[in-house]
Amino acid sequence: MRVILPLAAILLLAAASLAYASRRFSLPEPTGPYPVGTRILYLNEPGRALDGTPDPQGTRPLVVQIWYPAVPSAAPIANARRLKETTWRDAYLAAVPTHSRWNAPVAVTHEPLRVLLFSPRWRGERTQNTIAFEELASHGYVVAAVDHPLNAERMELADGTVVYGSQQLQGPYGNQATAQQQISYWNEQLYIWAADMRATLDKLSALNDDPRDPLHARLDTQHVGAWGHSFGGAAALQLCGLDPRVVAAVNLDGWSFAGLDQRNADQRIMLVYEDVSRQRELDLSAQPALRGTEDRMDRLDFQLTRDSLEHYGGLRVFVEGTQHADFSDQPILPQIENGKMTGPIDPQRSQQVLRALLLGFFDESLRGKPSPLLSPGQGQFPEVRVERWATPAASR
């Protein structure tokens, strides 16, 4: 009895917590004219091992979730995360409803649907920016977010198998890595993540060509946007150099590393940073010598980013009051670690700013609709500071 009662109490508490979460917490509603549908795609990429390295006999499984404009539907509502893909810290997310419905019929639109590829942060998950996904889908975009095997905390495959995250941030060098060793390891991972995103785009292109699929002949897969948070933002930039179909990319508060090495003036980029980044750039540039690995990497990345912006153009945005996690759903959700890496900005406000920045940038880059929000000195969000570099073509 002494064992059973505590266990029963724990189960009752868990059930009560899930029920409370389903009633108490809700995501901000999308503002666009379309309802939102969502579906999951399972890919098996041949020629690569589970860890993404080349292997002629191997396959790399990918779990991709897409959000898209839909018609009104009575299809089941998708919750924020599938239960097998949660931990004890965030199990309540399996009971938090989103504004998306599973496999709802695709909306009829007057133009092909623009595709946006998303990559999460290191040890993030494909659902970590659902608020922004739903916002973009409600305005007519198809957003495809990918889980990277062995990096995503948990990803459930088609047969129910769960692949757990095991990759270490420091890689094989551990805490003793030099700046160059750390950057080299991360650049290797960037290429693997970008290859996952490219495989996702190939899959969407195949669905677009498949008369049996609801997305048949609905997608524009030749003028695509990519974006991501933290490490995933660098992967989105890397994809620009690997795939000419990608013409616009956004990095949300991440280093760039080699992600900018192969971009060109025809590929537009926007780099969004937390509050302190601007002052940190100034402080590092004023120091004659740097000792710490992170300082060296920061200064190098600031310089590489500025060189790319000056040569090819682009946008750099600083959002006052934010920290790293404010560029995901985390501040909205009552997680145990909710206050980790979040700034003093109101969570609802940070989401409003983020959604407006993403929609404005992709509307401008992929639909040719200029966004006043992305002009220096705009007044819609006083906490947003925009720096714009003209492309060589635009400056002539």
- Could you give the CA distance from residue 307 to residue 300 in angstroms, rounded to a whole number? 11
Structural domain includes residue 2? no
φ, ψ at 30 (rounded to 5°): -65, 155
Rounded to an integer, what is the distance from CA 301 to the centroid of its chain? 20
- Could you give the CA distance from residue 325 to residue 347 in angstroms, rounded to a whole number? 10
- Could you give the CA distance from residue 64 to residue 288 in angstroms, rounded to a whole number? 46
Structural domain includes residue 288? yes
CATH of the domain at 79: 3.40.50.1820
Structural domain includes residue 19? no
249 contacts 243 by C-beta, under 8 angstroms = no
Residues in the chain predicted with pLDDT less than 50, given as ranges, are 1-5, 7-13, 15-16, 394-396
Structural domain includes residue 342? yes
- Could you give the CA distance from residue 70 to residue 394 in angstroms, rounded to a whole number? 36
Domain span holding position 382: 28-395
Structural domain includes residue 234? yes
Q: For residue 123, what are the CA distances in angstroms to 83, 103, 171, 249? A: 17, 27, 13, 21
pLDDT value of position 284 = 80
pLDDT value of position 5 = 43
Enter the pTM of the model. Answer: 0.92
Count: domains in the chain: 1
pLDDT value of position 396 = 40
- In single-letter form, the type of residue at position 2 comes to R
pLDDT value of position 201 = 98
pLDDT value of position 64 = 98
pLDDT value of position 20 = 54
Structural domain includes residue 274? yes
Structural domain includes residue 297? yes
Quickly list DSSP for 266-278.
TSEEEEEE-TTHH
Structural domain includes residue 143? yes
pLDDT tens digit sequence for 117-139: 999 999 999 999 999 999 999 99
pLDDT value of position 326 = 95
